[in-house]
Homo-oligomer: A and B are copies of this chain.
Amino acid sequence: MFSKACEYGIKASIFIALSSYKGVRVSLKAIAKEINSPEAFTAKILQDLVRHDVINSIKGAHGGFEIDNTLISSIKLSHIVNAIDGDAIYSRCGLGLHTCNENHPCPVHHKFIGVREELKLMLEDTNLEELALDIKSGTSFLKV
């Protein structure tokens, strides 16, 4: 569904949100350990998220990553997915046709509309706060 980069990005964002609520800035190393991801690759993804203003980075000693507490609830999964994978998941034709729309639909165009719309709504409706709270309460998990 998502690229591995995107999976890491989502998990990292959740962990950063969680830490930010606790008032602690987290390092790349801590993130990679927590979400069980390769450090250097995760670094690239975090840079991407920083560039897209999903998270903030602070360089130098005692630096790390954080998210403004007041923004966490307004950051949607769709922002993260868009930053990393782009909008292909919504816009790309299910069968890869260059032009696929109501006037010139691929064979599964109409079949896909519902699924895709539900996915889109879900991503646009889910925010980092709720995901972080589930981790905090032990309702969901970031690894294993």
- Residues of A bordering B, CB below 8 Å: 1-2, 4, 7, 10-11, 14, 77, 89, 92, 94-99, 104-109, 111-112, 114-115, 118-119, 122, 126, 131, 134-135, 139-144
Query: How far apart are the CA atoms of A140 and B95 in the complex, in Å?
Result: 12
* Tally of this chain's copies: 2
Of the candidates A115, A134, A142, the one having the most CB atoms from chain B within 10 angstroms of its own CB is A115
Q: Is the pair B95, A108 in contact by a Cβ cutoff of 8 Å? A: no
Closest to A99 in B: B144
Cross-chain contact of A107 among B106, B122, B134 (Cβ < 8 A): B134
Query: How far apart are the CA atoms of A4 and B88 in the complex, in Å?
Result: 14
Query: How far apart are the CA atoms of A94 and B4 in the complex, in Å?
Result: 10
